[in-house]
C-alpha cells in the first residue's frame, strides 16, 4: 500500500513539526515496511528512520507500533470500500463489474503495498477487527453486484460469497506477487503480463463464466442448427 508520501523534512531543534505531515510520513513508512517484512520483523526504530521522525512520535500519534499498523490497514480498506461506491452507480451489472476492476487497478497503482500487506495480515495474523466494517462493505458491494447481474439477466445465479473470493482472491494474489514476477522476469524467456493485461483477462474470463445458461428451448434450437450444418 504505497501511500506515495514523502517523509517530512527534518526540523531544526526547537522548530515545530507539522503533525499532519508526521502522521502521513508514518503511515507511508508503515505501509512500505509492514508489507515488505511483516508486522513482527519491523521495529519502532525502523519505522521512525523510514519516516524521518523521532520514534516517540509513533506512540504520540498512534499509541505504538500496533496502533500504526492498525491505522495503515484501516486506511487502505476504508479507501477501497469508499471508492467501490461507483460500482453501484453503473448503468448495469456488466458496467459495474468493469468499474470494480478499475477501482482495484487504480488502487494498486497508487498504493502498491496494499495487496501484499493484506495477504500478510490474512495469512499470519487473521483479520484485524478494525477493518471488519470496511471488509463487510466491500463484500456487500460484490454481493449486490452478483445479485443485480442475475436480476438483469446478465449473469447466471452464483453464490455471492464465492463470487467475492474469486474476484478479490485473484486480484490480491496477482498484485501481491508483483515483486516476485519482477525478479523472475530476469530468468525466463517469456514476457510477464502487465497489470492492465491481467485485469482485462480476468474481466473477460469472469464475464464468460457468469454468462447465463441458455434456456432448454434455446439449447434445442441451437442443437438443431448445428445438426442442419453437419
Judge residue 78's burial from the number of C-beta atoms within 10 Å of its C-beta, 0-12 exposed, 13-18 middle, 19 or more buried: middle
Predicted confidence at residue 219, as pLDDT, reads 53
Which of the listed ranges 141-145, 181-185, 226-230 does the model predict with the highest average pLDDT? 141-145
8-state DSSP, 54: -
Q: What is the pLDDT of residues 2-14, one digit of tens each?
A: 444 444 444 443 3
The position carrying cell 508483483 is 178
pTM of the entire predicted model: 0.80
**In angstroms, rounded to a whole number, what is the distance separating the alpha carbons of residues 222 and 176?**
43
Categorize the per-residue pLDDT at 122 as very low, low, confident or very high, splitting at 50, 70 and 90: confident
167 phi and psi angles, rounded to 5 deg: -70, -55
Task: Say how far residue 146 (Cα) sits from the centre of its chain.
Answer: 19
Of 22-31, 82-91, 114-123, minimum mean pLDDT range: 114-123
- Interval 169-182 mean pLDDT: 90
**In angstroms, rounded to a whole number, what is the distance separating the alpha carbons of residues 207 and 93?**
10
Q: Which residues fall within 8 angstroms of residue 92, CB to CB, at 6 or more apart?
A: 148, 152, 154
What's the half-sphere exposure (Cβ side, CA atoms, 13 Å) at 102? 12
Q: What is the pLDDT of residues 192-225, one digit of tens each?
A: 889 999 999 999 999 999 999 875 554 555 555 5
Q: Which residues fall within 8 angstroms of residue 221, CB to CB, at 6 or more apart?
A: none
Q: Measured at the alpha carbon of residue 212, what is the angle toward residues 208 and 214, in degrees to the nearest 5?
A: 115
**In angstroms, rounded to a whole number, what is the distance separating the alpha carbons of residues 87 and 25?**
31
Predicted confidence at residue 13, as pLDDT, reads 37
Here the cell at position 221 is: 434450437
The position carrying cell 525466463 is 188
**Please, what CATH class does the domain formed by 68-213 belong to?**
mainly alpha
Amino acid at each position: 500500500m504505497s501511500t506515495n508520501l514523502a517523509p517530512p523534512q527534518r526540523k531544526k531543534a526547537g522548530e515545530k513539526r507539522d503533525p499532519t505531515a508526521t502522521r502521513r510520513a508514518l503511515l507511508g513508512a508503515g505501509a512500505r515496511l509492514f508489507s515488505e517484512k511483516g508486522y513482527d520483523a519491523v521495529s519502532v526504530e525502523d519505522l521512525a528512520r523510514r519516516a524521518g521522525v523521532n520514534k516517540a512520535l509513533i506512540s504520540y500519534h498512534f499509541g505504538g507500533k500496533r496502533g500504526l499498523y492498525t491505522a495503515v490497514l484501516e486506511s487502505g480498506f476504508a479507501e477501497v470500500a469508499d471508492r467501490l461506491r461507483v460500482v453501484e452507480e453503473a448503468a448495469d451489472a456488466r458496467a459495474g463489474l468493469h468499474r470494480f476492476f478499475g477501482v482495484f487497478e487504480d488502487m494498486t497503482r497508487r498504493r502498491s503495498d496494499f495487496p501484499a500487506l493484506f495477504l500478510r495480515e490474512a495469512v499470519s495474523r487473521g483479520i484485524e477487527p478494525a477493518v471488519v466494517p470496511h471488509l463487510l462493505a466491500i463484500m456487500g458491494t460484490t454481493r449486490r453486484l452478483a445479485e443485480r447481474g442475475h436480476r438483469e439477466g446478465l449473469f447466471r445465479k452464483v453464490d455471492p460469497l464465492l463470487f467475492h473470493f474469486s474476484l478479490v482472491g485473484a486480484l490480491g494474489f496477482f498484485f501481491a506477487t508483483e515483486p516476485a514476477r519482477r525478479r523472475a522476469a530476469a530468468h525466463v524467456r517469456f514476457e510477464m503480463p502487465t497489470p492492465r493485461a491481467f485485469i482485462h483477462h480476468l474481466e473477460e474470463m469472469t464475464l464468460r463464466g457468469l454468462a447465463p445458461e441458455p434456456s432448454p428451448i434455446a439449447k434445442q434450437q441451437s442443437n438443431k442448427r448445428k445438426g442442419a450444418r453437419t
